[in-house]
Amino acid sequence: MEVTRRIAEFIVNANLFNIPLEAREIGKRVILDCLGVALAGSRDPMAKIMTGFIKELGGRPKVSVWGKKFKTSGPLAALANGTFGHALDYDDINRSMRGHPTVPVLPAALAMGEELGASGREVLEAFLIGVEVETKLGAGLNPHLFEGGWHPTAILGAMGAAAASAKLLKLSLEKVRFTLGIAASLASGLRQNFGTMTKPLHAGQAAKNGVIAAKLAQRGYTADSAIIEAKLGYAHAFAGLGKYDLNKIVARLGQPFDIVSPGVGLKRYPSCARTHPAIDAMLDTVVRHDIHPEDVKSISCAGSYTTPTMLIHSRPQTSLEGKFSMEFCMALALLERKVELSQFQNKKVQDPKIQEMIKRVAFSVRPDLNTIENSGNPSTTVKILMKDGKEFTKTVDEARGTPGNPLSLEEVRDKYRQCVKGIQSAREREKTIGIVEDLENLQKISTLTDLLRGK
């Protein structure tokens, strides 16, 4: 099956106005969400390290670094902006990918678009194509890509970023195939680095590598033109021999767009998405029954067998580890009745009251979620056992913000406003929202990217 050729044909032939309106509207919503999260991430300590590193490398000042007052080369800007966008683990999710779809593709598309002087229509078109490529690859390679220890946002995101970049460069079919071949060899990222600064680096690297792959192919650089399906190629390497389904990649390419179905979830909480059903369950139960922490004996969480392979920090000591700790998120929700960005600080994780409550939280696998067929199911049951013997139990299948329980447009706007507070002025903030929501009519993408450098 000529999978690489068919994907390349899709990239070359897809046109924004042949993409369903629903996909375009969702696309603009997730772009706004990612930009807000990235601007907030530009104030994270890891962003200071990344900014210093990029300034040391130099690079011709062509493309904006978000939240910063300087420009650099396209690949380096994509690296920085992708890292910022994933720094807080507050960015969107997709079940086909088992990862984050917007953060590797959008920084690449905006970097390439700003460098080329592209329109908003061209950038939105490229972005939607890139997301469709990476998510359909995820549909064909997961769950084995994920279960093998690879970080899908990195592995799949590099291909999505490459697709978006190739589209903006208007590469020929042959050069698009080479772009995919180059990106496939550059892709990497290990899940063992969850809860460290390197996880966000995966997204930045994917964005940067997509830009590099397209630029090299444009100049005549070659690669295997059947990289996805080849015997020693992308699918085999990342999913394993016989553990992928090429038909799932191409049979429904663009029909429907994955951004519509199964869709994209926007996060209410700045932590791994697998904590979100449990957080919803805990917050609802605590408020509904007015539960006080001192009266709680233990907390039991039960869900898919894959959940503890994502939430690998049962005894966290840092804010980054806390994002990948069911125990911390449960303790936080119970003790403070909220889970917000400002709470993910080292001192909060290390608070003696939090650490004591963490010891009372345990996770187990639900019998109905212990097979590979259910490995992507996020449903989680939370049981609170009180010291007087009472029990409160709640199961949440779809956390608030997921496609089955989505945020409203106004909630997405409000999340953006909260994320950019102190980074953009009120005028810049509202202007950015308006531009993104009418992106296909923007004449020059630099009108948007100029606003993203902040005050």
pLDDT of residue 453: 87
Q: Is the dihedral of CA 199, 200, 205, 211 positive or negative?
A: positive
Q: Which residues pair with 298 in a beta bridge?
A: 385
Statement: residue 455 has pLDDT above 70: no
Mean pLDDT, range 404-427, rounded to an integer:
96
> How far is it between the farthest Cα atoms of the chain?
72
Give the model confidence (pLDDT) of 309-349 as tens digits.
999 999 999 999 999 999 999 999 999 999 999 999 999 99
pLDDT of residue 396: 97
Nearest to 449 by CA among 102, 109, 42, 15: 109
**Burial of 21 (C-beta count, 10 Å sphere; 0-12/13-18/19+):** exposed
Give the model confidence (pLDDT) of 115-150 as tens digits.
999 999 999 999 999 999 999 999 999 999 999 999
CATH number of 273-396: 3.30.1330.120
pLDDT of residue 447: 97
Residue 170 zone, left/alpha/beta (φ > 0; ψ -120 to 50; rest): left
Statement: residue 355 has pLDDT above 70: yes
Of all residues in the chain, the percent with pLDDT exceeding 70 is: 100
pLDDT of residue 408: 95
Mean pLDDT, range 46-56, rounded to an integer:
97
Yes or no: say if 164 and 127 are a contact pair by the CB < 8 Å rule.
yes
Q: In angstroms, what CA-CA distances link 133 with 114, 231, 240, 253?
A: 22, 20, 20, 8
Mean pLDDT, range 418-430, rounded to an integer:
96
Instruction: In whole angstroms, give the CA distance from residue 206 to residue 210.
Output: 6
Give the model confidence (pLDDT) of 289-307 as tens digits.
999 999 999 999 999 999 9
Statement: residue 278 has pLDDT above 70: yes
pLDDT of residue 21: 97
pTM of the model: 0.95
Q: Tokens 């493309």 appear where?
A: 63
Note if the bond before 403 is cis, omega within 30 degrees: no
Statement: residue 258 has pLDDT above 90: yes
CATH number of 3-262+408-453: 1.10.4100.10
- Tokens matching residue 87: 């720094």
pLDDT of residue 1: 84
pLDDT band at residue 374, thresholds of 50, 70 and 90?
confident
Instruction: In whole angstroms, give the CA distance from residue 322 to residue 328.
Output: 6
What average pLDDT does the structure give for the chain?
Answer: 97
DSSP 273-313: GGGHHHHHHHHHHHHHHT--GGGEEEEEEEE-TTHHHH---
Residues of each domain in the chain carrying CATH 1.10.4100.10: 3-262+408-453
pLDDT of residue 375: 87
Lowest pLDDT segment from 142-156, 166-180, 194-208, 368-382 = 368-382
Of all residues in the chain, the percent with pLDDT exceeding 90 is: 97
Give the model confidence (pLDDT) of 192-208 as tens digits.
999 999 999 999 999 99
pLDDT of residue 454: 72
- Tokens matching residue 250: 């191409």
